[in-house]
Amino acid sequence: MISIVICSINQHFLSQVKENISSTIGVEYELLIWDNLQDSKGICEVYNTMAKQARFEYICFLHEDILFETMNWGHKISSIFLNQPDIGVIGVAGSKYKSGYLSGWYSGVKELDCANIVHRYSWGDEHVLLNPCPDSDLEEVVCIDGVFICCRKKIWEQVGFDQEHLNGFHFYDIDFSTKAASLCKVAVSFDVLITHITKGGDFGDSWVKIAMDYHKLQEKKLPVYINGQASLGVDKQIIKSWLDVLKNYRISWGNKFKWLFIQKLFLKPRLYYSILKFLLYKPLGLRYIHKSVKQK
């Protein structure tokens, strides 16, 4: 009933998630696994190659560093597709607004972001993302996080993953889901809970470069949003959110200044404090200073 596609680079994670899927999915499934250590390709090419082999009507593209906490999650996903034919793509994290400004799927605006995921860090801490607390089990969005993408096979056949322009491992999820949103409803399910057992994405130089390339490529098609979700001031909040995220990562000075100049952020005085942190927080080790102050 469900074809599961995984691009693997870690045998331990792969073995773990295979066992977890077997014990939790609750429906007939097949595993389509690409060993990207043996034959390294971009994730778009891997997903397209493996999806062509899918036997079932529904395809789940999964990261291997996850564990399903929900029993019979495959039945829940299948039921959504069966009972709501207008839904074509399901994730566990996403947003109702994808800005034309440089950003990932996450907007940093509480009313726009939806997530049902637990991040388990290597040092033992857990951070639960559940936002907003839904009145229903589903929330319509326009873009989703690639940690878990389930779709009807016919939607993948119509949209596909853009292996021509996205030949690495970033923005494939945003690109796929925003394009799918023009054909069908894209939704976040609050009825399927997963644990992400690594720290998540690395928003360093590689991510920043692809972010700039992607937004230039799609500048005429962004923003994308659910009707009524675009409002004055949202983009300013998103800009600040991503300056705050990126301040913690090792990014070259060249890419930092390019990030600011492309978006003309130097012309926005209200952002100067955020810009200053973006530029200096990591180089000056301010994170460690903050940490030591908090411990005292």
Task: Give the pLDDT band of residue 294 (cuts 50, 70, 90).
Answer: very low
Write down the pLDDT at residue 280: 94
Task: Give the pLDDT band of residue 290 (cuts 50, 70, 90).
Answer: low
For 135-165, the DSSP string reads SSSEEEESEE-TTEEEEEHHHHHHH---TTT
Write down the pLDDT at residue 286: 72
Task: Give the pLDDT band of residue 284 (cuts 50, 70, 90).
Answer: confident
Determine the Cα–Cα distance for residues 102 and 235; give it in Å rounded to an integer.
10
Q: Determine which of 107-111, 125-129, 216-220 has the lowest per-residue pLDDT on average.
A: 125-129
Domain coordinates in residue numbering, the chain: 2-230, 231-296
Q: How far apart are the first and last CA of the chain?
A: 55
Q: What is the pLDDT of residues 133-142, one digit of tens each?
A: 667 789 999 9
- Residue pair 177/186 in contact (Cβ under 8 Å)? The answer is yes
Q: Where are the alpha helices (DSSP H) in 68-143?
A: 73-83
| Residue 122 vs residues 13, 152, 161, 196: alpha-carbon distances, Å | 14, 34, 31, 11
Contacts of 42 (CB under 8 A, 6+ apart): 163, 166, 167, 168, 169
Write down the pLDDT at residue 121: 61
Q: What is the pLDDT of residues 178-226, one digit of tens each?
A: 999 999 999 999 999 999 887 666 899 999 999 999 999 999 999 999 8
Kindly report the CATH number that applies to the domain delimited by 2-230.
Answer: 3.90.550.10
Pairing of strands 97-98, 194-196: unpaired
Q: What is the pLDDT of residues 240-278, one digit of tens each?
A: 999 999 999 999 999 999 999 999 999 999 999 999 999
* pTM for this entry: 0.91
Determine the Cα–Cα distance for residues 248 and 6; give it in Å rounded to an integer.
29
Q: Determine which of 25-29, 145-149, 285-289 has the lowest per-residue pLDDT on average.
A: 285-289
In the block, tokens 């690639």 appear at: 146
161 versus 122: the higher-pLDDT residue is 161
Contacts of 56 (CB under 8 A, 6+ apart): 1, 2, 3, 28, 29, 30, 153
